[in-house]
A and B are shown apart, each in its own frame.
Chain A
Amino acid sequence: MLFNSIPFLFFFPFVVLIHFIVPKNWRWVWLLGVSYYFYMCWNPLYVFILLGSTVITYAGGLLIGRTKSVSAKKILLAVSTALSVGLLVFFKYGNFVVDNVVSFLNLLNVRIIRPEFDLLLPVGISFYTFRSISYLMDVYRGDVRAEKSFGRVALYVSFFLQLAAGPIERAKNMLPQIDNPQPFNYDRVKNGLLLMLWGLFQKLVIADRCAMLVNHVFADYEAYRGFQILTAILFFAVQIYCDFAGYSDMAIGASMVLGFFPKQNFNKPYFATSVQDFWRRWHISLSSWFRDYLYIPLGGNRKGAFRKYLNVLIVFLVSGLWHGAAWNYIVWGALHGVYQIIGALTLPFREKTRSLLKINTETFSFRLYQQLVTFCLVCVAWVFFRAPTASDGVHILWNMVREWNPWIFTDNSLFNLGLDAKNFRVAIFGIMVLFLVDLFRADDKQKLRGLLSQQGIIFRWFVYFAALFFIIIFGIYGPAYNASSFIYTGF
């Protein structure tokens, strides 16, 4: 059950209604039941993996919390984390590991029959595994008290609004909120619904429309060149942002309706002035997770330049692997790591050049230059994220640079890339709205909504209805209208 599905349209209001009827002390029970039902909608069998992960998290947290010895704590942390990660590796990376081992052995002329694992990747396993590890690490560090209630830990791990695609909420932020349910608050609920509406706009109007062009071009990239490929890459950059940020906004908005306040997950990432800055703005809950639970434990920047660069590379390789069990994701992650290492290595040279040329770095034009360079680097990496394989990614980039064909913007052939002219215009309109919202909003979207709430009711309601009907009419959902099924009209 996705947030942008019809069942959720009925499911969520029902959950909210009962949530505010149930006595405060029992709300977590209701949410836990709802979360497990939500998860079972995908596949009832998945629930056993979720339950297994929760038992490991609960028991690990309790044992770490009760143990006084630091070395024993370390062992318990290592064991419980290994078990959690083991589940993830088994279900998500089992086939990937086997494939690569078999390929490697084949290279050595060792022929073996590939064992078949018919494993179905459980939805959200990457997210709830990371939430579990975050809890265990926080208990180990003493940032969070080991929770005695199994149910509360289970709700933290499985909270349905963040189960399938994050954000990866920290235990120290979430558990106190579970213990302290919020009463119904009109303004908070309204703001949550508005954020959900914005997320829906990003997902249905922009992301899924851009996907039509992207899928068309990437599925047959050999047929396209130059600006056709470039357009598809730019559209993919928008698609993945709107898809992910849209889903996050819906999750955060829905959480707000229920009285939870997750942290912001995206903060105008394409306005970043460096790749490092990009990662402070993109999927913040994940990048901060990697910073706190991988980069810092590896030594961070405390053990010399070489170790720092190695740690950065390790973090981004793992990040790539986390996004998908395939080499193209690893290449994507590696590229981001390499960008940052090169950025750090060339920093003195770049600073010296700026100083020699007396470039004022505090100007709009310089910031724009930095933003454009960062955006281009990110887009190159996105090619590997979207391409079926890493070598396809190289071919796609080669196809882009090998031909100069700007006439596609004037001879209408641009509209043969999977999006007709009208849909293309709607996509551009949506992207402009997205750009303006990101440009004018402060770091917190709340302020933009606050600005709207200061307006008169007629203006506000006009905006609400306009947004709602724009999504209803121009959103990409449902079976596309097929005129041929209505063609039997003469009779």
Chain B
Amino acid sequence: MTKRRILLKIEIFVLIFAVLLSSVTFVMRYKQHPPTVYTFYKEPRNSLDVVFFGTSHMRCTVDPLQLYKDYGIVSHDLAQSGQEIFFTYESLKDTLRRQKPKVMVVDLFAFTCFYRVGEGCRHYSVDDLPLSSKCFFINSLIKAEVNLVDYYFPMYIYHSKWNSLRKDDFYFRQSIYSKKGNFAFNKFSCSKPDILPIEDRLDLPYETEKVLADMINLAEDKNVSLIFTVIPYDRRVMQNDIDIEGQQKLYNEISYRIKDKKNINYLNYFHILDEINFDFLSDLCDDNHLNFYGAQKITAHLGKYIKEHYDIPDRRLDPAYAKWNEDYKLYVQDIFAQELNSLKEPAQYVQFIANKKEAAGNICMLIVKSLGGG
């Protein structure tokens, strides 16, 4: 056999192996719903005007399709559950490699609680990335002293999931549309925490200070506006024993550090609860995350704020963004279905139908479906 033929055989073998491995890995690995990292990288280059970053706080808050419907803002939520700040920084950098957003909105929760929910949270941020971006993210993990093999070769961790595969694992990507919201409809009653005065501050830990400075420098270099946000919650003590008062002091310190910076704004919703009519009895789904109703209030305020403070074009009539209208229709149906499923009492159904006449067709269909299913 000639050398050329041997090389050709090896190349074909490696190619088939890579394709098969990629397919098998996709089936085996954990899928996050909605898969916002995957959908972000499917967006056309330089098509987004606003991008949101942070942890589950932001993920449960911002509603990009509502922003599009109400203000014509095209945005994407890249926030990931339990994301550590060095990953958020990598997200910002990678976003600027692909998009030219005018505004990047970063939630500050992870800057103050430094918690880790588990290795799974890192996989949310990495697994769906294209290979070209994955390397940057994984390199940032070197400091965290984790096993990098798990990220370059996810089968290393996921292969043992073979005995719990479900139908969804094989069809997941076909079943999503690009910007579905991630909302809970249950209501968790809690009390409003004491809000500390803005002068009450605490020194930032070194790592936090560094990442904050890196983000600010990056935004200045790329001439992008930054908005740092704090979204309301009522979890009093975090995993690492920092309490909500300590966190508030750190938020205040960050606001103090950035007060003179150009193109950087700060929106602490703890300080404008009355302005947005936020209710701790009905706007959270647990003590740490907003439900759909709380999310709608903050999304509405954020949309108005961005429109008023930045020159963001209205894309609603732009033919290049026609797909957003289709997505919005799917989104509305999905939200209806989710909201309907969350209702438990017949009286709630009646109230729901009375409030949402335009959705009657969908509702009837869903009710018939559920009756048919026994």
Contacts and interface: CB of A to CB of B under 8 A. Distances in A.
B149 A491 contact: no
B289 interface: yes
B182 A491 contact: yes
A481 B160 contact: yes
A486 B17 contact: no
A50 to B, nearest CB: 28
A478 B16 CA distance: 24
Given A489-B33, A491-B289, A468 B164 contact: no
Interface string A170-207: 00000000000000001000000000000000000000
Nearest to A468: B17
Interface stretch (A299-307, A356-364, A370-378, A469-477): A469-477
B248 interface: no
Contacts of A490: 184
Contacts of B13: 461, 464
Contacts of A472: 21, 24, 155, 159
B163 A465 contact: no
Interface in B219-274: none
Nearest to B121: A488
12 contacts: A6-B153, A461-B13, A465-B20, A478-B156, A478-B157, A478-B159, A479-B150, A480-B160, A487-B118, A488-B121, A489-B81, A491-B289
A6 B153 CA distance: 10
B347 to A, nearest CB: 27
Contacts of B149: 6, 478
Contact of A474 (B17, B162, B182): B162
Nearest to B290: A491
Contact of B28 (A422, A473, A484): A473
Nearest to B30: A486
Given A479-B150, A487-B120, A422 B30 contact: no
B24 A473 contact: yes
A69 interface: no
B149 to A, nearest CB: 5
Interface in A322-374: none
Given A474-B162, A482-B118, 6 more contacts: A465-B17, A472-B155, A477-B159, A478-B159, A481-B159, A482-B120
A479 B164 contact: no
Nearest to A478: B156
Assign chain B's interface to a size class. 35 or more
A491 B150 contact: no
Contacts of B158: 481
Contacts of B163: 420, 422-423
A71 interface: no
B365 interface: no
- The 5 lowest CB-CB distance pairs between A and B, nearest first, are A485-B118, A491-B56, A486-B120, A478-B156, A485-B120
Interface in B6-45: 6, 13, 16-17, 20-21, 24, 28, 30, 32-33
Contacts of B21: 469, 472
Interface string A432-468: 0000000000000000000000000000010011001
Interface of B: 1, 6, 13, 16-17, 20-21, 24, 28, 30, 32-33, 56, 59-60, 81-82, 117-121, 123, 147, 149-150, 153, 155-164, 182, 184, 289
Chain B contact residues: helix, strand, loop or mixed: helix
B161 A481 contact: yes
Given A474-B162, A491-B289, A484 B118 contact: yes
A361 to B, nearest CB: 46
Assign chain A's interface to a size class. 20 to 34
Contacts of A477: 156, 159
A483 interface: yes
- The winner among A469, A472, A477 for most chain B CB atoms within 10 A is A472
A483 B20 contact: no
- The winner among A420, A476, A485 for most chain B CB atoms within 10 A is A485
B16 A465 contact: yes
Contacts of A461: 13, 16
A491 B118 contact: no
Contacts of A476: 160
B156 A473 contact: no
A324 to B, nearest CB: 30
Contacts of A465: 16-17, 20
Given A423-B163, A461-B13, A465-B20, A486 B1 contact: no
Contacts of B150: 478-479
Contacts of B162: 473-474
A6 B156 contact: yes
A186 B163 CA distance: 38
A478 to B, nearest CB: 4
Contacts of B6: 186
B164 A483 contact: yes
A364 to B, nearest CB: 38
B28 A479 contact: no
B113 to A, nearest CB: 14
A488 B184 contact: no
B24 to A, nearest CB: 6
Nearest to A185: B1
B118 A488 contact: yes
A473 B120 CA distance: 19
Contacts of B56: 488, 491
A206 B286 CA distance: 45
A475 B159 contact: yes
B80 to A, nearest CB: 10
A477 B82 CA distance: 27
A479 B154 CA distance: 11
A474 B13 CA distance: 21
B137 to A, nearest CB: 18
A473 B159 contact: yes
Nearest to A465: B20
A3 to B, nearest CB: 16
B17 A489 contact: no
Nearest to A488: B117
A483 B157 CA distance: 11
A463 to B, nearest CB: 13
A6 B155 CA distance: 12
A461 B16 CA distance: 10
A267 to B, nearest CB: 31
Contacts of B289: 491
A491 B59 contact: yes
Nearest to B118: A485
B32 A489 contact: yes
A257 to B, nearest CB: 13
Nearest to B161: A481
Contacts of B30: 486
A474 B28 CA distance: 12
A379 to B, nearest CB: 29
Contact of B82 (A423, A468, A479, A488): A488
Given A472-B24, A489-B81, A479 B159 contact: no
A2 to B, nearest CB: 14
Contacts of B17: 465, 468
Contacts of B81: 488-489, 491
